[in-house]
Amino acid sequence: MPEAKIDIREIEYGTEDYEQTLYLRHEVLRRPWGRSIAEDDLDHEANDLLIGAFAGEKLVGLGTLVWLEDDAAQARYMAIDEAYRQEGIGSRILETLENAAREAGKSKMILNAREKAIPFYEKHGYSLTGELKVPPFIPIPHAMMEKNL
Ligand SMILES: CC(C)(COP(=O)(O)OP(=O)(O)OC[C@H]1O[C@@H](n2cnc3c(N)ncnc32)[C@H](O)[C@@H]1OP(=O)(O)O)[C@@H](O)C(=O)NCCC(=O)NCCS
C-alpha cells in the first residue's frame, strides 16, 4: 500500500498543500475524539515552519515548528497517516524540524506529547519535564518533554 519513495519538504502557509495539512490533522489528531481542527487557532502558522511528507502529491505526514521567544522552539502537530506509520516518516520529520531549529540558533526543543507517543520521543532523546495532564482540546493525557539540540 504505502509507496516506497516519500519526499520530505516544506509546506507554505495558505497553499493547497497547506489545505491538505488541515485534513490530515483533522483525521489523525481531532476526529477520533469528536473534535475538529477548525477549532484550532492556526493564524500563527504563517510564521511557523511546516514540514510535510509526500507520497507523490498526497500529504501523508506532518510536523510543525513554532519559534519561541527564548532559545527554544516547539514541535507541534506531529501526525502520520495511519497507513504510513512505522516506516521512519515521523522520525524524518522530527529530525528535519530539529535541524531547522538548530540552524536558526535554537538550543532546545520542547513539545507536549500524547501519552502513547512518549516512547517515540524518548527514542529521539527527549525527556519528560512535566506530569501527564489532560488538555482542554482532546480527552487524552499529554506531558511536556524537551531535548537539548
Ligand atoms: C507518533 C507518530 C508521529 C510516529 O510516527 P511514525 O512515522 O510512525 O514514526 P517512525 O516510523 O519514525 O517510528 C516509529 C517506530 O517505527 C520504527 N521504524 C522506523 N522505521 C522503520 C522501518 N523502516 N521499518 C520498521 N519499523 C520502523 C521505529 O524504530 C519506531 O519504533 P518504536 O515503535 O519501537 O518506537 C505517529 O505514530 C502518529 O502520527 N501517531 C498518531 C498521532 C500522534 O500521536 N501524534 C503525536 C502527537 S504528540
- State if residue 30 touches ligand 1 by the CB under 6 angstroms criterion: no
Mapped onto helix, strand or coil, the DSSP state of residue 57 is coil
In this prediction, residues 95-112 reach a mean pLDDT of 98
6 CA → ligand 1 middle, Å = 15
Q: What's the CATH architecture for 7-107?
A: 3-Layer(aba) Sandwich (3.40)
Q: Quote the ligand 1 centre to 82 CA distance (angstroms).
A: 10
**Pocket of ligand 1 contains residue 89 by CB under 6 Å:** yes
For ligand 1, mutation pick of 31, 85, 140 (most atoms within 8 Å of CB): 85
User: Is a pLDDT exceeding 90 seen at residue 2?
Assistant: no
29 pLDDT more than 90: yes
- The answer to whether residues 135 and 125 touch, using CB atoms and an 8 Å cutoff, is no
Closest ligand 1 atom to residue 29 Cα is 42
Asked if 51 contacts 96 with a C-beta cutoff of 8 angstroms, the reply is yes
In angstroms, what is the span from residue 38 Cα to ligand 1's centroid?
26
Residue 1 has pLDDT above 70, yes or no: no
Phi-psi group of 137: left, alpha or beta (phi > 0 → left; psi -120 to 50 → alpha; rest → beta): alpha
The confidence band for 136, taking pLDDT boundaries of 50, 70 and 90, is: confident
Q: What is the pLDDT of residue 3?
A: 52
Ligand 1 pocket, 145 CB below 6 A? no
- The per-residue pLDDT for range 41-99, each reduced to its tens digit, is 999 999 999 999 999 999 999 999 999 999 999 999 999 999 999 999 999 999 999 99
pLDDT band at 18 (very low <50, low <70, confident <90, very high): very high
How do the domains of the chain map onto residue ranges? 7-107
Write the DSSP assignment of 105-121 as a string of letters: T--EEEEEEEGGGHHHH
Rounded Cα gap, residues 123 and 61, in angstroms: 19
pTM of the model: 0.95
- Regarding the beta carbon of 144 and ligand 1, being less than 6 Å apart is answered no
Nine-digit cell string for 67: 519559534
